[in-house]
């Protein structure tokens, strides 16, 4: 019998995430994968105990097996989070009195500081690196500028619609995680370039594409090509290991903090739901202060 038939509670929970919590398709797939793995384990190892009979020891047994397969602590924590949300939802429905997750401890993970591109390297990219003098090169340069100037996520940028560009107030309305809207200001010069870019967009035969950024054939940009060209251009100006659109988001936030931006303001610009997610960028600021101190103070 398939996992979803053996445990029919999975489908309503995923629908809850989709329609009530409005999670992204990618996030829902992650939850589904974690839950199906866990319940498949219960079926194979413990003869499919009913949800109300699942204890913390079942969960710990599964996590131990996952750890034995050399799965990272970060992935284990995500799986724990998936199960915690699932059982919390069962309690909300009145199907459980207590979650088995209360006795499960998540492994501690050493927090890594987010990588970012130095300000001088970003300046080099925009001032000295040559982009091809055609629609492709123009699109690539404008995409990278918008990533760095707004801190948008990849999905937010490639799905950005013309209607989200507010030229009169020089700002863009971004639809982020959980369909939460946020407003990000855009520099006047960059806004002018966006307006001109939109006015000259190539169109496809079937009609116009309302996404801001399109290919030379008038089709909406796809994630993989964007990853590819961002990595290419960043490799010309920096030696950091990770070179992706998300690194430009980290660079946006880090440079704001390094230049004295208010932490709450950065939180709103990034679209973080909690301040804790934004506070990681203060560590880079502290590291910069230590570096300045070491170089400048006679007793350092």
CATH architecture of 3-103: Orthogonal Bundle (1.10)
| Nearest-5° Cα angle at 156, 75 to 241 | 50
* The token pair that represents 76 in the structure block: 């284990």
* The token pair that represents 133 in the structure block: 């003098």
pLDDT beyond 90 at 119: yes
Catalytic residue among 145, 243, 249, 267: 249
CATH fold of the domain at 119-296: hpI Integrase; Chain A (1.10.443)
Catalytic residue among 138, 170, 210, 246: 246
| Model confidence pLDDT, tens digit, residues 238-290 | 999 999 999 999 999 999 998 989 999 999 999 998 898 898 888 776 776 67
Catalytic residue among 67, 159, 170, 272: 272
Catalytic residue among 79, 141, 145, 153: 153
Q: What share of the chain is helix, strand, coil (3-state, %, to 5)?
A: 60, 5, 35
In the chain, list all ranges with CATH 1.10.443.10: 119-296
| Model confidence pLDDT, tens digit, residues 93-117 | 999 999 999 999 988 876 677 899 9
| Model confidence pLDDT, tens digit, residues 161-193 | 999 999 999 999 998 887 889 999 999 999 999
In the chain, list all ranges with CATH 1.10.150.130: 3-103
153 classed as catalytic:
yes
177 classed as catalytic:
yes
Q: Are strands 181-185 and 171-175 parallel, antiparallel or unpaired?
A: antiparallel
281 classed as catalytic:
yes
Catalytic residue among 78, 159, 170, 177: 177
249 classed as catalytic:
yes
Nearest to 155 by CA among 223, 73, 235: 223
pTM: 0.73
Q: How many Cβ atoms are within 10 Å of 294's Cβ, its own excluded? A: 9
């Amino acid at each position: 019998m398939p996992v979803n038939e053996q445990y029919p509670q999975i489908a309503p929970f995923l629908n809850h995430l989709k329609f009530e919590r409005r999670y992204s398709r990618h996030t829902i797939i992650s939850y589904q994968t974690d839950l199906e793995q866990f319940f498949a384990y219960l079926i194979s190892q413990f003869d499919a105990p009913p949800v109300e009979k699942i204890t913390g020891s079942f969960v710990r047994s599964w996590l131990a097996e996952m750890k034995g397969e050399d799965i990272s602590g970060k992935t284990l924590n995500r799986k724990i989070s998936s199960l915690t949300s699932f059982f919390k939802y069962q309690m909300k429905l009145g199907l459980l009195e207590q979650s088995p997750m209360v006795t499960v401890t998540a492994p501690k993970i050493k927090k890594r500081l987010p990588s970012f591109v130095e300000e001088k390297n970003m300046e080099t990219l925009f001032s000295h690196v040559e982009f091809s003098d055609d629609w492709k090169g123009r699109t690539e340069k404008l995409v990278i500028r918008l990533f760095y100037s707004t801190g948008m996520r990849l999905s937010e940028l490639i799905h950005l619609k013309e209607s989200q560009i507010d030229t009169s107030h020089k700002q863009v309305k971004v639809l982020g995680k959980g369909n939460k809207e946020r407003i990000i200001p855009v520099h006047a010069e960059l806004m002018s370039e966006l307006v001109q870019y939109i006015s000259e967009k190539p169109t496809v035969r079937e009609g116009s594409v309302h996404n801001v950024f399109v290919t030379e054939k008038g089709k909406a940009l796809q994630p993989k090509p964007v990853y590819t060209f961002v990595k290419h251009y960043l490799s010309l100006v920096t030696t950091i290991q990770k070179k992706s659109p998300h690194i430009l988001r980290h660079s946006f936030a880090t440079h704001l903090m390094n230049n004295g931006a208010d932490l709450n303001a950065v939180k709103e610009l990034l679209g973080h739901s909690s301040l804790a997610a934004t506070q990681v960028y203060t560590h880079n600021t502290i590291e910069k202060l230590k570096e300045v101190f070491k170089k400048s103070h006679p007793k350092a």
